[in-house]
Amino acid sequence: MNFSFKSISCLTTLILMLAVLLPLPQAQAAVELDRIVAVVNDDVVMSSELSERVRTVKAQLEEQGSPLPPVTVLEKQVLDRLILQKLQIQTALNTGIRVDDETLNRTISNIAAENQLTLAQFREVLEQDKYSYNKFREDMRNEILMSRLQQRQVDNRVTVSEREIENFLANQEHMGESDLEYHLGHILIAIPDGADEEQLAEIRKKASQALEELKAGKDLAAIAATYSDGDQAKTGGDLGWRKASQIPSLFTEFVADMEKGDVSDLINSPSGYHIIKLMDVRATEKYIVTQTHSRHILLKTDELISDDDAVMRLQQLKLRIEGGDDFGEVAKGNSLDMSAADGGDMGWTNPGELVPEYEEVMNTLQADEISVPFKTQYGWHIVQVLDRREHDSSDDIRRARARDEIRKRKLAEARDSWLRQMREDAYVEYRIDF
């Protein structure tokens, strides 16, 4: 889990995101009795807990300038997320996952340090936001618990095959220019577990109404705030800019046939009805890198060969090569690197593939020039640059990124399925009407 925050504003956002339950003022507590709004297995969600989380989400939306959905819609969305959070924490604890104080302290110290704060200053910032330090610790512990649970039960089981990469790249070609990015809007009208025919009809009617309003030109953010149950509802349904690889597989065939400004028809899935809008399209840049073809000779020091001995020996070998001996043959007879069998040839390399000391020296050389002896973690070297070329590494980088993006997409889908199954297997009783 990433706990990196680069500014106080990011820290404030963290505080808002983690805030769940703050003590009610005594005067208010005297007139408002807390009550259970949901039963979650052996745990409960209290009215005060729901109210405080709703207040937090409202504060986030106001800070972002996003439109507020109707209160009942927001309360239902927030309660469902609280239920999922409690289920994950229960599962983590039941499967033996724990977060010790040392790990928790280190995490909090890192957050403070990355914001250039001492721990004492960090606590002051929390108090200024009316967020108790103990409550912050509790929320952070729960966040780490849920992250570890997801890592164990979902993330570690997700793999990406070469066939998936090939299929993914082929799908990119089907979508046109594979270096395009798509700016998408998304609305989800969720279907609750166990919905009967009457509920399904009502949900379809709601989805059709949202689609009609969106196609009529109504603002996406307003429609998302009113209708959407998706994770992006609070940010106006905006999925942001995404490469084809980052678009959920459910949507890819629809996006392939859409023009800028188009709105899809209703897309049905187990989670509900989806609507996507293609807000914009743009091209990305190609990845041109300077590749270098080099070869080298490596000598290592030991109890019999000192640094001075290695440097002197390499200087002698360099003089031999400059006097007419073949670099490759000298490398075969003297180098202790695995490349010696190939005459010290390192092949064509991209920036960042070799150790920094080697690259730093190599980058100063002209073609056919031989360096003076220099040291790396492996020993002492001399290196010769054979040639340089500008190379389009787009395909290599595209494959590497495809693997990453496929994994991210599969993780998101696996986590969604995992959470739905967890929800279906749990005993949940609502004690509030929406």
pLDDT digits (tens, 9 = 90+) for 97-122: 999 999 999 999 999 998 999 999 99
C-alpha distances in Å from residue 134, one per residue of 13, 127, 263 = 18, 11, 47
Which one-letter amino acid corresponds to residue 162? E
- In whole angstroms, give the CA distance from residue 128 to residue 123: 9
Q: Which residues are registered as beta bridge partners of 255?
A: none
DSSP string, 276-293: EEEEEEEEPPP-EEEEEE
- In whole angstroms, give the CA distance from residue 101 to residue 87: 22
**pLDDT value, residue 1:** 39
**Confidence band, pLDDT 50/70/90 cuts, at residue 319:** very high
**CB hemisphere CA count around 226 (13 angstroms):** 13
Mean pLDDT, residues 178-186 taken together: 84
Q: What is the b/e burial string over 144-163, where b = at least 16 CB atoms within 10 angstroms of the residue's CB?
A: bbbbbbbeebbbeebebeee
Name residue, tokens 């957050």. 111
- In whole angstroms, give the CA distance from residue 227 to residue 364: 60
**pLDDT value, residue 287:** 80
| The pLDDT of residue 21 is above 60 | no
| The pLDDT of residue 310 is above 50 | yes
| The pLDDT of residue 164 is above 60 | yes
Phi then psi for residue 71, to 5 deg, are -55, -45
- Of these ranges, 82-96, 188-202, 248-262, the one predicted with the greatest mean pLDDT is 82-96
Residue 252 tokens read as 């890819």
Higher pLDDT, 397 or 157: 157
Q: Which of 240, 221, 238 is nearest to 182 (CA)?
A: 240
**pLDDT value, residue 27:** 38
How many Å is the Cα radius of gyration of the chain? 29
Percentage of the residues of the chain whose pLDDT score is greater than 70: 90
Task: Tell me the domains of the chain and their CATH numbers.
Answer: 8-153 (1.10.4030.10), 166-286+397-428 (3.10.50.40), 288-392 (3.10.50.40)
DSSP string, 23-34: PPPHHHHHH---
Residue 405 tokens read as 């993006």
**pLDDT value, residue 32:** 54
Residue 207 tokens read as 């989805």
The rounded mean pLDDT for the chain is 87
C-alpha distances in Å from residue 127, one per residue of 32, 59, 95, 136 = 25, 17, 34, 10
Give all strands (DSSP E) within 168-266, no chain letters. 180-190, 238-243
Q: Which of 174, 348, 380, 323 is nearest to 257 (CA)?
A: 174
Phi then psi for residue 260, to 5 deg, are -55, 130
Give the CA dihedral 102, 105, 110, 116, nearest 10 degrees.
-140
**pLDDT value, residue 68:** 87
Residue 149 tokens read as 């649970």
pTM: 0.50
Tell me the pairing of strands 288-299 and 36-40: unpaired
Q: DSSP letter for 329, please.
A: H
Q: Which of 321, 338, 305 is nearest to 372 (CA)?
A: 321
| The pLDDT of residue 63 is above 90 | no
- Of these ranges, 20-29, 245-254, 286-295, 335-344, the one predicted with the greatest mean pLDDT is 335-344
Q: DSSP letter for 188, please.
A: E
Mean pLDDT, residues 7-19 taken together: 48
- In whole angstroms, give the CA distance from residue 428 to residue 108: 33
**pLDDT value, residue 174:** 66
C-alpha distances in Å from residue 110, one per residue of 13, 107, 113, 118, 173 = 17, 5, 5, 10, 43
**Tell me: the pLDDT tens digits for 338-383?**
999 999 999 999 998 999 999 999 999 999 999 999 999 999 999 9
